[in-house]
Chains A and B, each alone.
Chain A
Amino acid sequence: MSRTRPHVRFQDPSIELAHGAGGKASRRLIEGLIAPYVFESGTELRDVAEVALAGGRLAMTADAFVVKPRVFPGGSIGELAVNGTANDLAMGGARPLALVATLILEAGLPTEELEREMAAMARAAERAGVAIVGGDTKVVEHGKADGLYISTAGIGLVDPRVDLSAKRVRPGDQVLLSGPIGDHGITILLARGEIELEAELTSDTRPLWPLVEALIEAAAPGLRWLRDPTRGGVATALNELARDARVTVVLDDEAIPVRPEVRGACEILGLDPLHIANEGQFLAVVAPEYADAALEALRRVPGGASAVRIGAIEEGARPVVLARSRYGGTRVIDMLVGDPLPRIC
């Protein structure tokens, strides 16, 4: 197969865990090795692809779920597998329609657990308004997988009113966030039981389409870009935006909503909430004249009450994300390198 010339060269001799962590290393793997083989050159790399059909645009996406532990406060792998893919479609401005699911089971997985996860998938699909229409099941030897992996692929119908692309983002545009960040990542970290920390915290996994639909109704002409900040968190999502749109993103540090439990855990472990994963929040960039209407619309949807403006797009000589604090200090918000690691010593 021919290979287009990559902007980034992937020179790592083997695949490490960091290549799957959603940060810089992941980006290098995708841009430097995978994309040059499988995509036409110049393809904008997004979580969702569009296919033009007579009479409309179809959105397609796929995602794989290998979370540990599989059950955590506020959700489980089955629920994530539905919401994750449905949300990627929503981030493409598409109403999620149907999913197919591939299950990779490790021999020895208790039937009871599989049954629970299938029920969780069914409930999540109903809530998200998508149908699970097919899939595949494979069983691998004991020790060749970790219990249960789920991969889902989905299609959705792109709302004809939207045109989403980093390339449409302009200086002056406003950055909106749907609600408090870090809940999912910190919940998972605590659920692994490795830290003696307890908090009343649950994962934020939920379908995002109802919020996106309200946003489209209120602000479609000014809606430029959507992204759910999953692995790598808000910092990584906005760094990718800064790079793809060649702009500077300036955040108001104090405006970013973070629950006290998440902030506390981050302070103790030396983590930055901006690097922590979310499964039920999204970032939107809207034209300034639509920002108020967009926020109002989001806040009227159940679960959207804490939607807030967190920053703006500025002209930038170099694509970078900055956060300004109220007393005037500025810091650069970098992409995550590998997984966030706690600082102890």
Chain B
Amino acid sequence: MRYVDEFRNAELIEKTAQEIRRRVDPSKRYRLMEVCGGHTFSIFRFGIQELLPENIELVHGPGCPVCVLPMGRMDDGLNLAKDPSVIFTAFGDVMRVPGSHGSPLEFKAKGADVRMVYSPLDALKLAVQNPDRQVVFFAIGFETTAPSTALTLLRAREMGVRNFFVLSNHVLILPAIRAILESPDMRIDGFLGPGHVSTVIGARPYEFIARHYGKPVVISGFEPLDLLQSILMLVRQIEEGRAAVENQYSRVVPWDGNRAALAAMAEVFEVRPFFEWRGLGFISQSALKLRPEFAPWDAEVQFEIAGLRVTDPKAAQCGEVLKGVLKPFQCKLFGKTCTPERPVGALMVSSEGACAAYYHHVYARQAVGE
């Protein structure tokens, strides 16, 4: 398969891993954060940490959309699903995320009309096919998926579809990185920049991280060779005392991003003054809501939304894990009351969540003494 196989070439992977081992200063520790959940998943799937010298530690960042979604927001969405006139639609990623009274899948089993879609356009199609129902799309994701929500809303307006509504939970990656950089327990030496988000926003917006915080950023692809090359580029910058934004994923990510996608987002969305992130708390200007012109399609305007706030179970330490202060297995609930099958926190739900990844790939292996 093109663009996949060449980046899983065993020989090049070994060579790059050797080069990393040669470059690192054994007296130092390198704490590198992969911001994106897709990277977390790949790192575990391909066993990348095993290929690295011991003093390189990969810290799993906040870039997993369902992991940072507060439970109250899920409850708000599922409250709408209780209305028999509503068809509640969401991506597969969301279907197992626990709300206070169950996940979307559990609501479906109890009779709510919950449907998985692969694109918001599919939800719009459902609205056209079911004119007597109200179709709500529970929108989630960073700048990766926000443009498709925006394009769908533009299409809905153009077609005059009035029974389609979006509950926007879209969040922005840069304010989250800034929050981590400002956090007092921050000890990150460099960032692996998200690949998919950057196809939309480009590489330029990360420059403040290098300029103001003196931390190197390398935007990375998702294959094993991509990740190792990016880690090597970070190590080189750190060893040369540089801090710059570099783009390893240039086969996909343009420096200035995707202008058409950015324009669609700007037309449809505006930045919320603040938004709650699970584990990280309220972050100002970190999320998107629909502009007033799109009020007829805005679920927050057209439905009564309670704005529920649900505190995470006290014993769960999702926040500390999200910030990289604790490793997943250091949480009191990990592997005991919180497992991928019965998740307490969202980090255990998504296969991109640090806890689920640890559970599947590290915990079980340690248990067999590998």
Contact = CB atoms under 8 A, between A and B. Distances in A.
Q: Which of A17, A24, A345 has the most CB of B within 10 A?
A: A345
B51 A327 contact: yes
Interface in A211-234: none
Q: Which of B1, B106, B110, B351 has the most CB of A within 10 A?
A: B351
A344 B89 CA distance: 13
Interface string B272-305: 0000000000000000000000000000000000
A281 interface: no
Interface stretch (B129-137, B140-148, B233-241): B140-148
A37 B284 CA distance: 56
B361 A343 contact: no
B14 A343 contact: no
Interface string B141-158: 110110000000000000
Interface in A303-339: 316-318, 320, 322, 325-332, 334, 337-338
Interface of A: 14-18, 24-25, 194-196, 248, 260, 263-264, 267, 269-270, 316-318, 320, 322, 325-332, 334, 337-338, 341-345
Interface stretch (B116-124, B180-188, B260-268): B116-124
Interface in B90-117: 91-93, 95-96, 105-106, 108-110, 116-117
A300 B364 CA distance: 38
Contacts of A17: 105, 108-109
B140 A345 contact: yes
Contacts of A342: 91-93, 116, 118
B47 interface: yes
The majority secondary structure among interface residues of chain A is loop
Interface in B315-370: 340-341, 350-352, 360-362, 364-365, 367-370
B357 to A, nearest CB: 10
B48 A332 contact: no
A147 B201 CA distance: 48
Contacts of B370: 322, 330
Contacts of B365: 320, 322, 330, 332
A345 B141 contact: yes
Contacts of A16: 105-106, 109
Contact of B369 (A15, A264, A317, A330): A317
A316 B65 CA distance: 36
17 contacts: A16-B105, A24-B341, A196-B118, A248-B368, A263-B4, A318-B368, A327-B10, A327-B51, A331-B46, A331-B361, A337-B96, A337-B341, A344-B92, A344-B93, A344-B119, A345-B66, A345-B140
